[in-house]
Every structure is written in C-alpha cells, then in structure tokens.
Structure 1
Amino acid sequence: MIVNTLSEPATGDRAAAPTPAATVRRHPRVLSIAGSDPSGGAGIQADIKSIAANGGYAMAAVTALTAQNTRGVQSVHVPPAEFLRRQLESLSDDIAIDAVKIGMLANPEVMRAVGEWLETTRPAVVVLDPVMVASSGDSLVAVDARLALLDLLQHAHLVTPNLPELAVLVGEAEADSWEAALEQGRRLAATSQVRVLVKGGHLAGSACPDALVEPGGSVEEFTALRIDTANTHGTGCSLSAALATVQAQTNHWPESVRRAKGWLWDALETSAELEVGHGHGPVNHFHSLWDAAPPAGNAFSRSLWDEVEPQRKAIFELGFIKDLAAGTLTEAHFAYYLAQDAMYLGSYSRVLARASALAPTAEEQLFWAKGAENCLAVELALHGDWLARHPLDVGPGPVTKHYVDHLQAAAFAGSYGEVVAAVLPCYWLYAEVGRVLHADYLAFDGVHPYARWLETYADQAFADAAEAAVRIVDAAARRGSALDRERMREAFVHSAQYEVDFFDAARLHA
C-alpha cells in the first residue's frame, strides 16, 4: 500500500490500461453527462465549473432536470432516454471528446442509452460518479437501477462512489470504518474490473482519506485534513469532473487524484467566501482565479524556496550526502547513484528540450536548449567515465521512474510555467548541494574520491545557470494566472521532494 498526502506527490486490463498518449491534451475537451442543478452547486453546473477551473473545455449532455437548492431536492424530471441519445450523438458526430464524466442517471433506460453510446465512441477517459443520493439525503435514482448501473461500470475507467453509494454497489451495509470501506472498494474493483476511488468523507475524524483501488487489489491512499464547513453541496460531482479533466492532461491516475483532491480541498477551504444559500452551500470552484495581483520581482521564487525548507534540510541529513562530503561513501552506493542519474538525465534532457520549444523568448529558448545539450555532453560524459571504471548493471529504480514520470507529465501536459518550475529543483537544489559540499571538499585532507563530481556542481557556471533558471520561473509566474502559479508551485514542491528521495535511494537500493 502506498500512502500520499496533499503535500507529497498502480495501474493490465481495461481498468489498468493508461490513457493513449495521443489523447493527452493541455486543454482537454470534457463532456459531462449529468443532471442539472439550478442552484449551480452540483450536477452539470458544478461539472462545467470544475472542468473549466482545471483547464478543460466543458460540454454537457443533460440527463435530468431538478428543482433543488442548497436545502434539498424538491422535484426531478427525466426527459426521454431517446433525447439524451440524440444529445450524445450530436456531440460525438462533430467533436473529438477527450474525457467523459458521468453523473446522475435516474433510471435504467437512461443508463443503457449512455452505455450504448460509450460502447460506440469508447472515450479514452471515463469517470463515473454513481450519483444516487444528494448531500441533503434526497434519493435521485430509481430503486431498480442498481443492476443497470453495475452493467455501466464495464465502460468506465474510474468509479467514484461515496460510502452509501459504494454500499449499494456491493449490496452490503454502509461501511462504518475506513478498513471496511477499503474492503468494499477492493471487492467492487475486482468484480467489475474497474478502478475505484474510495472516499472517506462520510466517516468521522479529523482526516479525510481517499484511496485509489486497482482491480488487482493494490491501494494507493491520499489523505488530507478535513475542512470544517457545511458547504459540501456538489463535492462528489466537482471531484469526479476534475478527475476526468486532469487525467486527460496527465495520463496518470494517482497524479490526477492528487491534483484533483488538492484543488477540491482549496475549494472547500474558501467556500465560505461565496455565501450562497441557507443549507449545504457550494464549493468555491474558481478560488484560484480570484486572488491578488501577480507576484513582483523574485517574490514567487522566494516563496518556493521557503516552502521547500524541510526538503533542503532533509538533503543534508541524508547518510548519502554526509558520506559523500566525508569521502566515505562506498563505491557501490555512488555507482548506483550515477547509474540512476544517467538514466534520469536522458529523460531530463528531453524535458529541457520541451521547455525550449515552449519558451516565449529567444533567450529562454536558447537557455533550455543549452541545458539539454549540457545534460548529454557534459554530465552524462562525467557519469560515463566513472561507470566505465565501476560498471553496474541496473534498471531504473522506482524513484527514478516516478521522478521522470512527474517531469514528463509537466512537460507534455502542463504549461510552460509548470515545466520550468518542475525542472528548477534539479538546478537550484543541486547548486546548493554543490556549494555546501564544496566548502567541505576544500577543507578535505588528502585526495577526495569524488572530487570531480563535487567540482562540477560547485562550478560557477552551474551556479549562474541555476540563477538564470530562477529568474525564468519568476517571469513565468508573473505572466501566468493564479491557477498557473498554483500548478507551478505544486510541480516545484514535488520535484524538490523527488530530489531528496533520489539522493536517499542510493543507500536504500545499492
């Protein structure tokens, strides 16, 4: 089992197959198939806001009309299933759809219409939120719809039930503990061969856990502190729509869950600002767009540096770094580190080349292009000399693979700001490590076994390159929106943690 938090950064069959690379888009076209909420907090209205807030182009096919507000649902009208079928066919005849979020489907006829359309169109990302009961407690689905809903799961890549809905799907009583909820999630994932996002929001306690359960039984948990608010109207709708949108951008389900859950956490935390209704109010979908002016000067980069202070301190507490500075690091540990770094740099150079292609100025294009060339011409040559004398036959370790996946997601699904923020720690933190360790190296008595490595990363040209990368990130932050800056911050923090883990992996796996 893997456990993630919102401050930290599993997938064989239909459920486990990754989204085809050709469908990964910076601004995916996302279709919501759901009911309408005139109060704007749930259903189609919430989905459109969630999709837009997470960088997608939103479309909608309405399955039902409701009379509802923040206090509850007063009435539901379900148009003929044939009319929904016409909506869906009209869209897919004209528009390439990158992802689909499915919400309220009130009866078996509607469910079958959606299933038949999915069988024909086969979208690359399908997230099914099995909406059965509103947060007010009102039933939204006919009692005979359970079997039709279970049949619809064969067309989904991810299903996102709350605990009452999960209980209905597995035909059991509602789970009263997180362990029981996970067990129900495993059973549903195995029997329906679909990923299940088990959501613990209905459980008591200060934590609000979610878990991504694979059909094979593996579980990856994501935890966050519970937000003390009554503004929970449409949280399930909003999360599932965000997940569909982000997955079409990342092609990586755990990363998509982390991003979408973090976005929803902020939307809940700022929900009181809206002051909508007298019952369960809506979340603040556009919290990232309604903030202060862009940061001036180097304020953004300084905030990033301050935020990763724990990671900066952790690096110098690692046994690998201490032994490297003292010259007592074993050749086996250093060889493993260099072998992993060589594999990492091959991918890192391609990410830098991508940054060069996205750069808005000729100066920045040239900077990142030179960085990509340097990875191959200088750093890999340095690694190759050592590894030729100390050969080691290993494949990429888990940290290397996850770090590279993170960088490639930023490079090929994110904005220019996200790319440069994601690569910055490999400049900035390495320059800091080189500066500190070089001071110890100069005081070293004798011939240091790793002198060439220490001299490379303490070189003034490398320090200058790190400073230039910082300036580029600040400029990108000033040009970007509030949402861009938040994604840049997330990309930077995750890369910083991967840097810590990368150094530490040598001692753990060599």
Structure 2
Amino acid sequence: MSAVVPRVLSIAGTDPTGGAGVQADLKSIAANGGYGMAAVTALVAQNTHGVRSVYRPPTSFLAEQLHAVSDDVSIDAVKIGMLADVEVIETVREWLAAARPPVVVLDPVMVSTSGHRLLDPGAEEALRLLLPDADLVTPNVPELAILLDREPASDGDAVVDQAQELARRHGVRVLAKGGHLEGPDLRDALVEPDGRVSDYRSPRIETRNTHGTGCSLSSAIATRRGAGATWSDATDLALRWLSESIRHGSALDVGGGHGPVSHFAGLWARGGLDTMPSPDEIADEWWRSTAGVRDAIDGLDFIRSLGDGTLDRRAFAWYLAQDALYLREYSRVLAQASRLAPTPREQTFWITGAHAAVATEMALHEQWLGLGEGVPAQASPTTTAYLDHLGAAADSGDYERLVAAVLPCYWLYHDVGSRLHPLGVEGHPYRDWLDTYAAPEFAEATRTAIGIVTAAAAGAAPLRRAVMAEAFRASAAHELAFWRAPLDAVAAR
C-alpha cells in the first residue's frame, strides 16, 4: 500500500466514448499518480446520451482476467464499478477473498443517469452482501437509497443519516455524495463505520460535463489511498482533483449529451506536454549544436600547428599568458559554482576544479611565461569578452546557467587535446600541453562535468533548459575566438 506509484486495478464495464467505466478509471488513476490496470466485467455500447446495449462476457473469463493480474502484480488498491449481475458479483467476491487486496473501493453502479435501475433485485441483494468486503463504498443519492431499501434523501442531512445507517449496518466507510441534490453548494461526507463524519464542501459547478464523475472519483480515492494517504486526505485530494476536472470538461467538446470531465486538465496546465529529455539526449543535442564551431576550431592554423609542433613560440607564449589571465578569473567562477551547487558531490567537484585552475596558472608561469617573449600584461579584448560572459553567469546566481557556461572549457579542451595528442611524438615542443588535456584525469573530470550539467538540463523546465543551452553555445563560440586570437595578435605586431 505504500508503493511510490500505486498499482490500481479497476474492475468495471466499458465506455467506448471514454468518459466512464474502465476508460475513465484508467485516466483517473493516472491523473492521481497511479499505474492503472483493468479487468472488464461488461462491454457497454453507450455514449454521452445513454446506454444502448450491454454484452456480459462469461464470468469464467472475468475470473481469468482477475487472477492473471493478481498472480503477477502486487496490487495496492482495487476500484470496483459496474458488476452487471449476480454471477459477476459472486466471481468478484470470490477473487477478493483469494487475492485480499489492501484497499477496496466499491462504486455501486445501480442507477443510470436517466434514473433507470441497472440491476435486478437478486443482483441488488448480492451487491449488499459485497459491501463488507469493501473499505469504502461511494453511492450516489439514488444508489444509497436502494442499498438501504429506502426512498431517496432530499437534503444533505438526510443523505448523511442514510450513509451512517449503511456504514453501521455493513461495517464499511461510506462516501455520501451530494451531487444529485439541489442548491448552490455541494456537500460530500465521509462516514466511518462508527458514525463519525468528515464534511467536504465546495461551490456547485453548473455544467453538463458530469458523465463518469462517480467512476472517476472512486478511482481517484482508491489511488490516493493506495499511495498511502489517509481515507480523509485521499477523499479530500480526490474531490479537489475532480472539481478541477469538471470545471475544464466543456473544453473537451465531446458529445452532445452529458460530456466527460477533463481528467488531465490540471496536469496539462501545470506540466505542459513537452517531454523530458535524458542527460544523454541533452549531451548529444548540445554537442551537435557546436559542430560548426568545432569544425572552425579544427581549421585554425593555431590548432593545426600546435598539433604538429610548428606553432610560433611567440604565439604560444601569448596564448598561455592570456590563458593564465583567464584561469585566474575562471577559478573564481568555479568557486561560485561550488557555492551554488545543490549537492555535496557537485560542490566538491567544482571547488576541486577551481584549485586545479590556480595550480595550472602557476605551472604555466613557471614553464613558459618567465621567458620574457613579449608576453602581454593584461587581457586582450577576446579574453575580456569571454571572462565577461562567464562573470555574468557567475554573478547571476543561476547555478544551471553558470555550469552550462563553464562546460565547454572542459569538453572542447578535452576534445582537441585528445585528438592532437597522438601527434605529440618525442621532442614535440608542446607535448606538456597535449599531455595535460589528453590525460585520463582530465578525461574523467570532463565526463563528470558533462554528467552534472546535462542532468541539470534534463531536469529543468524547457525555458530554463534553453537558457542553459544558449550559455553553452556562447562559451563554445568564445573558445573559438580565444584560439584564433594568438596568431592574429602576433601577426599584428
């Protein structure tokens, strides 16, 4: 009963228009967070105007359906709807005794919308005998009266009185529903077997979209209870959901009679229809989005000559000086990512990267920048533009945007370094640089960065994901400009 996603079985008839019966039950179960299953008791030819005919398959086949489910699936809740006749009722009762599901909600389908009784007297009596096997029964006003062999109640207090009598007589909770009564306010009441009453009141919604409300409500309560809610909370949550679904039912424009409720209206409004991509799909999409930038990087004279070792030492020294200036600010940016990170793992990863950036800067100064080969003392316009971009992301306080912006410094450097590294034969003047960005440690750091950022993007709302993707692409473009600048700067002297 405590499953995260409750597995809920509907035992009921069908509705080919989808507004009632097992079709409505499955929608209701899904809309309330459950996994819906169904065993069909009857095939019903009906629409929003009414029932035309009913075909009841052999009860032996119903029993096969029920046992096929319970032999394989752990059931958290059962909702029982249309049972058609005595033989069907007995089949369901025997299965309940064998399967013993932890939650049973019975919606006694006994009266049609037009007021016709759907069960013969023998079936009505068999249904009364089924009541003690349920945890909750959800009759409407006419059905409550039939179960008690009384005249229908005419006001809310009388409905509750009848519900208390039914609950006491059969030892079952009863949801007394006020939908059939008149008045601007709607009163529903959950009655315990000991007579205690929990009231639920709401404004009455003037609408023709009431087809299948009993099916939908009972399935919703079963699902909420199957997820672990108390009976009172399950009822409250289900009633709130049903009210929202009724309010939006007319927007569906289904049929010319009593139309269905809109089971997923709230989910559509709050969650939208966009699918959530996986981190791997995000990684593939973002990498493909930088194909043009990566092709341009591969075509740079700086990259080609860096790979084959013919790069002008002055250009490499200029590049390293700018990289040292870049890494100084980059370490601050990574430290900010660590401060904003939502998990200890991410905090540790980014602060480790910040320390590594400072260490790299110091090593670069020691190995190259002390040679005095006309190294600039301040950032170039290209470096400044890149740092302004990263700084704006860091200062925004937006963790997702920030980590998306720093990702190309891992991903593109590892991509270039790992592909150039095989060219770095013994005696290659820039072998240390190639070793750094093709090293297993940097490869692992890159994989971790990709995993962190793409997981954040996959879990973000579409607009947030678009902001992250734009920050990523902008940084990739800055990387291209950063690698183009050294030879341009040397040529301009």
TM-score by length of 2: 0.56
Aligned-partner residue type, residue 216 of structure 2: S
Q: Identify if the C-alpha distance between structure 1 residues 290 and 168 changes in structure 2 by more than 3 Å, giving closer, same or farther.
A: same
DSSP 3-state at the match of 2:3: coil
Q: How well do the aligned residues superpose, as a CA RMSD in angstroms?
A: 2.5
Report the alpha carbon displacement of residue 292 of structure 1 after superposing the two structures with TM.
6.0
Contact 1:200 1:210 in 2 (8 A): yes
Once the two structures are aligned, what percentage of the paired residues are identical?
Answer: 55
1:44 corresponds to: 22
Separation in 2, partners of 1:365, 1:248: 38
Residue aligning to 1:372? none
* 8 Å CA contact 1:32, 1:241 repeated in 2: yes
Q: Do structure 1's residue 120 and structure 2's residue 82 form an aligned pair? A: no
Deviates more, 1:137-146 or 1:61-70: 137-146
Q: 2:268 aligns with which of 265, 269, 290?
A: 290
CA contact (8 A) 1:196 1:212 kept: yes
Q: Which shows bigger deviation, 243-252 or 266-275?
A: 243-252
Q: Which amino acid aligns with 2:211?
A: H
> What is the aligned partner in structure 2 of residue 73 from structure 1?
51
How far 1:284 moved relative to its partner?
0.2
Distance of 1:283 and 1:365 partners within structure 2: 47
1:135 deviation in Å? 2.3
1:276 to 244, 247, 254: 254
1:353-502 aligned within 5 A? 361-362=343-344
Q: Distance in 2 between matches of 1:363 and 1:187?
A: 59
Give the structure 2 partner of residue 248 of structure 1.
226
- Structure 2 match to 1:403: none
Q: How does 1:20-99 map to 2 (within 5 A)?
A: 23-99=1-77
Aligned to 1:448: none
Q: Residue 179 of structure 1 corresponds to which residue in structure 2?
A: 157
**Kept after mapping to 2: 8 A contact 1:106/1:142:** no
Output the amino acid matched with 2:77: A
Cα distance, 1:360–1:188 mapped onto 2, change above 3 Å:
farther
Following the alignment from structure 1 to structure 2, what is the Cα–Cα distance between the partners of residues 480 and 172? 56
Corresponding residue for residue 87 of structure 2: 109
Question: Which residue in 1 is equivalent to 2:176?
Answer: 198
Matched residue type, 1:235:
T
Distance (Å, rounded) in 2 between the aligned partners of 1:168 and 1:123: 27
Structure 1: how far apart are the matches of 2:156 and 2:103?
A: 27
Name the counterpart of 1:213: 191
For 1:115, what is the secondary structure of its paired residue? helix
Report the AA paired with residue 43 of structure 1: G
Deviation at 1:170? Answer: 0.6
- Aligned partners of 1:293 and 1:242: how far apart in 2? 19
Q: Deviations over 1:54-102 (max 9, x none)?
A: 1111100000011100000011111121111111011111111110000
Query: Displacement, 1:360?
Result: 8.0
Q: 2:120 aligns with which of 122, 128, 142?
A: 142
Alpha-carbon distance between aligned partners in 2 of 1:123 and 1:149, rounded to the nearest angstrom: 18
Match of 2:194, SS state, is: coil
- Aligned-pair CA distance for 1:134: 2.7
Normalized against structure 1, the TM-score is what?
Answer: 0.54
Question: Number of residue pairs matched?
Answer: 287
SS of the residue aligned with 2:38?
A: strand
SS in 2 for 1:59: strand
Indicate the residue corresponding to 2:240 in structure 1: 262
* Matched AA of 1:217: G
Shift, 1:481, TM fit: 8.9
Structure (1 or 2) with the larger CA radius of gyration = 2
The DSSP-based 3-state class of the residue aligned with 2:33 is coil
| Cα-to-partner distance string for 1:172-228 (whole Å, 9 max, x where unaligned) | 000001111111000000000000000001110111111010111110101111111
Unaligned runs of 5+ in 1: 1-22, 295-358, 367-475, 483-510
* Aligned with 2:134 (options 139, 144, 156): 156
Cα separation, 2, equivalents of 1:362 and 1:51 = 37
Q: Which runs of 5+ in 2 are unaligned?
A: 273-340, 349-455, 463-493
Code of the residue aligned with 2:139 in structure 1: it is P
Higher relative contact order (CA 8 A, sep 6+): 1
Give the Cα–Cα distance (whole angstroms) in 1 for the partners of residues 98 and 204 of structure 2. Answer: 41
Query: Shift in Å at residue 137 of structure 1?
Result: 3.4
